[in-house]
Chain A
Amino acid sequence: MPQAVSRTGWATRFGLIMAMAGNAVGLGNFLRFPGKAAPYGGAFMVPYFTAVILLGIPLMWMEWTIGRHGGRFGHGSTPGMFHRMWQKPVSKYIGIFGVLLPAMVGIYYIYIESWSLGYAWQTLTGEYWGKTSQAAMGEVFAEYVGLGDGVAFSLQAYFFFLITFALNILIMSLSISKGIEFVAKYAMPALLFLGVVLAVRVLTLPPVEGRTVGDGLAQIWRVTDWSVLKSSDVWIAATGQVFFTLSVGLGMVHSYASYLNYKHDITLSGLTSCTTNEFVEVILGSTVAIPAAVIFFGAVDTRAILDQGTFAIGFHALPVIFQQMPAGQMFGVMWFVLLFLAGLTSSMAMFTPLLLFLEDELGLTRKRAAAGIAICVFFLMQPVILFYNRGVLDEIDYWMGDFGLVLFGALEAVVFSWIFGMKKGWREMHVGADLRVPRVFYYVMKYVTPVFALTLVVWSVQDSLWGKLTMENAKPENVPFLWMARAMILAVAGFLIWGVWYAWRTHPKFFEEAGPQSEAPR
């Protein structure tokens, strides 16, 4: 008989939904989304919501279904889950993406998350107080992350990185209900509270030199030119953002869903986590950073700040604004704690697929698996931190957090809808359902979602893949470091390929002969 994998499951449905929503809600909701939307104005919302409805929500339902289905067979990660859907040798290797991508994203995401904690501390202690220009705050940021020609090292950044890293490993190593669920149940409501308070604060800001909050909201909501919809750029930006914000195509939703028992609803729970994410992203995310920046700096300067990159508005511009508003120190701390919580609720899921892969497929105990991950991830994080100024983080981000998740999302849509079969998938999805999904989504998931996702892959290839592959815009002195980043990805991928090969070879009965494990909670 196969050896059963016994894990405790979710304790409450609220905890499950908060964890799933927290997985989706991240730094991108507050920093990336406004930056993507503002250049196109209100027209951006058309491709954005088209992608949410035709791509994001269907993929979310697919991932919950794949996860719960795989969990019945004792698989907590996508290699085993894909194997259960498609009995071909290649399927389990495709599933490796669902372990590789979140782990590699986690390697840099935790470092970025730690900046929020560091800035919350700096704001609380007033460390940068008095630096009231963006240029000065830019220098504070450069000093914090240790930007320069040599090794990028800053003792303070490293200290907060260690705290954030330890916290993530601690949460991950506990059982799902005592770790991730416990944190999500408190962190998500706290995040929502902080987000609403900050949004109300910005919406009630008095005009500065004639600039009102309406001018700020107009950057995201005013349609100045519908013809931008004819450009593929806005569609790539919007659909990429949908993938990123819902954390689909990463493998984390699958792992969380594998803890569900077979008759637990997934349609309503999946939709609830999606709508919660949209509330945070579209309502709160569009109301805080950009309107505040427009009121204090004006629309032209805000566009220039956005052009400087994802972090400029959050770490350069807003600290300047906090120094100029009443009780700004308090709101500043709230902003960075908000970002930290958004980051934490996402990052704590990122190593879960790897942890479950080591547990379920390679037979390691949770303690050993968690310790192994902690040691390996810690060492892999060092180049990301020390050579941040050389583009190591950006290189991993492109291949894993940008192109990789779109590719894996397309692959899983094809496997689910066309290979596993939509009829079977639809039936599986509705087992125990509390919400009957309208029949039109059957056809959306069967035809539109896979085609849409594949089109996005083709767009991404045309748009940026070749340039990235050949490093055509890279500075010559950074090229060795970019190769190092690729070597890191390949090393982890190589380990996972070996792991799958070894597991399937050494545990044939467990994988080939086991029927669905009972309804035992995982």
Chain B
Amino acid sequence: MTLFSWIYMLAVWAVILTLNVFCFYKVFQKPKIEPIEEEQDGEVSFK
């Protein structure tokens, strides 16, 4: 492995891990599937 290869590999790993950890962090902020809410007049709103 050249120095560039190590940097390349570790950079890709870091991006994947960061994204994965970020996603799970956001997921665990709201882990339960929310109870069903009623729609009003058939409209759904963007969060």
Task: Tell whether A pairs with B.
Answer: yes
- Contact at B33–A272, with CB atoms within 8 Å? no
The 8 A CB mask of B23-44 against A (1 = contact, 0 = none) is 1101110111110111100001
Interface residue? A484 (CB, 8 A): no
**A10 lies within 8 A of B33 (CB):** yes
B2 to chain A, nearest CB (A): 6
Specify the chain B residue showing the minimal Cβ separation from A264: B33
Q: With the chains together, A95 CA to B4 CA distance in Å? A: 46
Interface positions of B from 3 to 28, Cβ below 8 Å from A: 4-6, 8-9, 12-13, 16-17, 19-20, 23-24, 26-28
Contact B31 A13 (CB under 8 A): yes
Chain B contacts of A214 at CB under 8 A? 1, 6
Looking at the complex, which one of A10, A42, A262, A275 makes contact with B19 (CB distance below 8 Å)? A275
Report A's interface with B, CB cutoff 8 A.
9-14, 16-17, 42, 45, 49, 214-215, 217-218, 221-223, 261-264, 268-269, 271-272, 275-276, 278-279, 282-283, 427, 430-436, 519-521
Whether B31 contacts A221 by the Cβ 8 Å rule is no
In contact, A278 and B16 (Cβ under 8 angstroms): yes
Contact of B34 among A215, A263, A268, A278 (CB under 8 A): A263
A223 to B4, CA, bound (A): 9
Q: Cβ of A215: which chain B residues have Cβ within 8 Å of it?
A: 1
Residue in A14, A279, A432 whose CB lies within 8 Å of B16 = A279
Which residues of chain A are near B32, meaning CB under 8 Å? Answer: 12-13
What residue of chain B has the Cβ atom nearest to residue A48's Cβ? B12
Given known A13-B27, A17-B27, A279-B16, contact A221–B1 (CB-CB < 8 A): yes
Q: Which residues of B contact A427 (CB under 8 A)?
A: 46
Across the two chains, which residue of chain B brings its CB closest to A45?
B12
| Contact with A279, one of B4, B20, B31, B44 (Cβ below 8 angstroms) | B20
Task: Using CB atoms, name the residue of chain B closest to A9.
Answer: B33
Name the distance in Å between B25's Cβ and chain A's nearest Cβ.
10
In chain B, what residue has the closest Cβ to A519? B36
A-B contacts, 22 listed (Cβ < 8 Å): A13-B33, A17-B27, A45-B8, A214-B6, A217-B1, A217-B9, A222-B5, A223-B5, A261-B34, A262-B44, A269-B27, A272-B24, A275-B19, A275-B20, A276-B20, A276-B23, A430-B46, A431-B46, A433-B47, A434-B47, A436-B47, A519-B39
